[in-house]
Each structure stands twice: as C-alpha cells, then as structure tokens.
Chain A
C-alpha cells in the first residue's frame, strides 16, 4: 500500500482491534485536527466576525482562511463557499432559496433515484407549490440510466440536483454529460458532493455546477460544519436563508437590509473551532495527496470485491465499482442488522440499514443492506477481518 497514516488517528490506538469501515457515514479524525480544536479553545478562542480586539481579529482570520483553503482545494474560483451546519442544511438552503424565487406551479425539478434523503426531502417540500419532481432512473446494475436524459430534461425543468458519488453503490454520476445538457438549456445544477470530497479530486470550476454541497465531518474534520459552494451570481439572486445576527447591513424599526456575499447566508454565531478544524483536515488531505488516497481506497475496495466474489450467498446492491471507496451488500438469508451485530462482536463497524436511501433500496426490493466504506486509515487486514466475520456469521446462521 502506498500510504500509511493510521498511526495519525488516535482512535486506533485506543481501540486496537477496531476495524472501522464506516467512513461514508463519518470519518475518524487525525491528531492534527484534534489538536487544532484543542489549540483554538486553549489559546486562540474568541467569537469570529464580531469584536475589534486582536483575539477576535485573529480568530476571524483563521476562520476566513479556512474558506480560502477550501476554495483552493476544490478549485472553486467562480463563486464562494458558505458555511452551514451540515451538507443537509446546505441542500436545504439551495432548495428553499431557489424554490422561493425561481419555481412556480408546474415547474419541474430533476433528481435521481440514487439520492440520499438530504437531496430529496428538501425538494419534496416544494411539492406544496405544485412543483413536479422527476427522477433519473437507476438500472439493474445500480447505475444512472441517462440514455433518455434529453427527454427527462424538458423546457419546464428549472433545476437539476444530483449526487456526485452514490452513498450506497459508490458509483460516480456521469456529471459531465448531464451538466453539458443542462448548460445548453441554461438550467442550474446542484451537486451533493458529500461522498466525493475526501475520496477523489474535485474541480468545481471544471464541473461548472452552480451549487456544490458537502460536509466537513466526512473529510476528517469536526462535526457541525457543512459547506455550500455557490456561483457568484446566486448570492444576489437569493434571499437570506436564516435571519439573525451577522447577516444584516442595517436594521431599523421598519426596514432591514442584508449583508452581501457569504455573510448574508451565515446567520448567528458560527462553529468557529469546527470550521478551523476543516483547514487542518485539508492540510492532512493535501499532505497525503488525494491521488494517493484514491488509489489506496480503490485498491482496498478492489481487494474486498474480489474476496467477496469468491464467497457464496453474497448479494451486492447494484454492481460494485472497483474504482470507489464503498459498496453495499447483503448475505442471502440473514438480515443486515443481524450481520452487523455479529460484526460488532469482532469490533467491525459497518453501516446497516437503508443508508438514508430508501428509494434505491425499494428499487432493489430490499429494506436494508450493509455498507462497507473505507477511509485513508484502512488496511488490507481490515478487509480480511471483515471476510472472516462473514464466515463466522454464516456459520452462526447455518448458511453456506
């Protein structure tokens, strides 16, 4: 394996047996990120964007430099990045603000059957305005079928919102082709990049999407921070998402004017320490190099798929993709939660359930599945341990 960073993650020192295969849910944190939070509260803490004293100015600078670091990391030069609570809030912001000013009765939104609930439920709310939601279908391999994309995108389609990488199948969405069609019809595109940012190189400028949502906690930073890239033109076109301190320009008894740019969308005290931790997480990703991470994770997933293919009674959810950091499966005849309990006895953490993707699970006629997702710290032995535990599980349930 080309990288060896597991020793930088304290949790694996505390739990020596831990086989953590749930990074798609949330990643573990490297010591640099943990220290950054500790250090900020110990020696740098102040609220940001408020005081004029030195401590506040320095804290604000750290916070703002995280934004610049992020923009550079994702080549997000044609817009800016708003900090939110999580990727879910980022997507809610787009759905609410776009829906408010740009959607009317009879308009259509195009999503896909692969979407996480966070990229469906916020749009569902707009059905109250008699907005139609259409879905790009998934084929039997679990891939998006875009053969009919030109007819799915009609002259009523007002926005397209899609996942970058499925959180169930691990498959990349053919964004380039879809965005090309969207651009030709002047339709804005929103991308849920939650499963992409820590696993593959993301170039927002090249993608040329209007919105790109993701979260910090899945990319080795603290919980409590979501991000939303928004192309410059939307900052003025959208009304504020939440109201409160920090997002205003002037307030009097009758009228309120709002701040410009990112401030307009960052109401109230922001999670400064958590945001700053994201800067250190990106430093970690940059030092390890996203190319190396992708190669490492793809090797682990290829290794797992080839081992799984040799076992009986394994049913994948769709066709697993070797160029990925995750896949989902079931053991025929054993419920995912029973399997997960057996895994837990061997200190193996995987996600069991519908992974907030009920549409996809229903499409495959299953209620739940087990998801294996790797991170930068996983090693081949983790996959070996997983396969051992599968055999143990089959033995317990008397299945071959």
Chain B
C-alpha cells in the first residue's frame, strides 16, 4: 500500500491548515463527536436557514491528519448546500470509504470532487476509517441537534 495515496498533499494541507476552523458566532445547530480510542474530538457548528440551506459551518477540535483534513474538507463542501444534499453526500462518502464506490453520479464541481475523493485512500487502511468518518457522523448529529456526543466506537 502506498502511503502517498493516503496522505495526499491535499490531505496534509488541510490537516495542517484546516479551513473553517473555530466556533461560529451565529449558529443554530451543533454536535460533538469523539473517538475514544484515538482521542480525536470535534465540535461542529452550523447555521441552517429557513430554506434548509447550510449557510455557514465550522469546527473545533483536535485529531490526526485524516480526521482534521476530513472535517476541513467536509465543511468546505457542505457550505451553501441544502441539508438534503448534505445527507446525500454523507451517504456517498461512507460508500466511498467503506465499499470503495466511485462517485460518477455525484453532483459536485470538479474541484469539490477532487477534495471529496482525496479521502478515498482511507479505504485501504481499515484502522483509519473511523478517523475519516467521525466528522460526517457529527454532521448528521448536528442536523438532528443531538445532545449526546457521537462516539465512533459505537457507530462504525
């Protein structure tokens, strides 16, 4: 297995300089995620308008390069999309990571697709799947305003 497939430049860049990092001033949904084995943790904030569009989202927390990059990329891709669209992306992400499905049908710009797919290498590293999926689980919890923090040990 080639490590550069997992740790692509794009991942390293997002891992070291995460985008949308910090707490949003205005948000109406949030949720926490935790990976007790690794100690990865994320607090996700998002603002959902009346039309169901995620107008802004951000995250705080700490974790490995995969988990931070995945969170950073997720916030970039989900911003300005509808909750429904975000749910579709979440399903597509899990299929890509767990079943190695390709993304031919997914409606994303080329740039977004590249970012989204940059995490597909995780598929070959089963011990790291939880790192990549934690933020997406937390996104779902945030939409549901779930008070109980997501625990990756229980979910994946």
Which residues from chain A sit less than 8 Å from chain B, CB to CB?
A: 333-338, 341-342, 344-345, 352-354, 361, 367-368, 396-398
Whether A338 pairs with B66 at a CB distance below 8 angstroms is yes
Pick from A341, A344, A353, A367 the residue with the most CB of B within 10 Å: A341
Q: Given A335-B65, A398-B12, verify A341-B6 contact (CB < 8 Å).
A: yes
Task: Tell me whether B128 is interfacial, beta carbon within 8 Å.
Answer: yes
Whether B125 pairs with A341 at a CB distance below 8 angstroms is yes
Q: Compute the total of residue contacts between A and B using a CB distance below 8 Å.
A: 46
CA gap between A341 and B7 in the complex, in Å: 10
Whether A337 pairs with B4 at a CB distance below 8 angstroms is no
Whether A353 pairs with B38 at a CB distance below 8 angstroms is yes
Q: Given A345-B1, A354-B39, verify A367-B62 contact (CB < 8 Å).
A: yes
CA gap between A335 and B128 in the complex, in Å: 13
Whether B7 pairs with A397 at a CB distance below 8 angstroms is yes
Whether B64 pairs with A337 at a CB distance below 8 angstroms is yes
CB neighbours (8 Å) of A335 from chain B are: 63-65
Whether B128 pairs with A368 at a CB distance below 8 angstroms is no
How far is the CB of B119 from the nearest CB of chain A, in Å? 14
Number of chain B interface residues as a range: 20 to 34
CA gap between A354 and B127 in the complex, in Å: 17
Chain B's closest residue to A335 (CB) is B64
Whether A368 pairs with B38 at a CB distance below 8 angstroms is yes
CB-CB contacts below 8 Å: B1-42 with A: 1, 3-4, 6-7, 12, 16, 37-41
CB neighbours (8 Å) of B37 from chain A are: 353
CB neighbours (8 Å) of B1 from chain A are: 345
Whether A345 pairs with B3 at a CB distance below 8 angstroms is yes
Task: Tell me whether B74 is interfacial, beta carbon within 8 Å.
Answer: no
Whether A368 pairs with B39 at a CB distance below 8 angstroms is yes
CB neighbours (8 Å) of B66 from chain A are: 337-338
Task: Offer 26 A-B interface pairs, CB within 8 angstroms, sorted by A.
Answer: A333-B16, A334-B65, A335-B63, A335-B64, A337-B40, A337-B64, A337-B66, A338-B64, A338-B65, A341-B3, A341-B6, A341-B125, A341-B128, A345-B3, A353-B37, A354-B39, A361-B39, A367-B38, A367-B39, A367-B40, A367-B41, A368-B39, A396-B3, A396-B4, A397-B12, A398-B12
Whether A338 pairs with B7 at a CB distance below 8 angstroms is yes
Task: Tell me whether B131 is interfacial, beta carbon within 8 Å.
Answer: yes
CA gap between A398 and B13 in the complex, in Å: 11
CB neighbours (8 Å) of A333 from chain B are: 16
CA gap between A223 and B61 in the complex, in Å: 36
CB neighbours (8 Å) of B39 from chain A are: 353-354, 361, 367-368
CA gap between A396 and B4 in the complex, in Å: 8
Q: Given A334-B65, A353-B37, verify A341-B4 contact (CB < 8 Å).
A: no
CA gap between A354 and B37 in the complex, in Å: 8
Whether A337 pairs with B3 at a CB distance below 8 angstroms is no
Chain B's closest residue to A352 (CB) is B38
How far is the CB of B97 from the nearest CB of chain A, in Å? 15
CA gap between A336 and B131 in the complex, in Å: 13
How far is the CB of B41 from the nearest CB of chain A, in Å? 8
How far is the CB of B15 from the nearest CB of chain A, in Å? 8
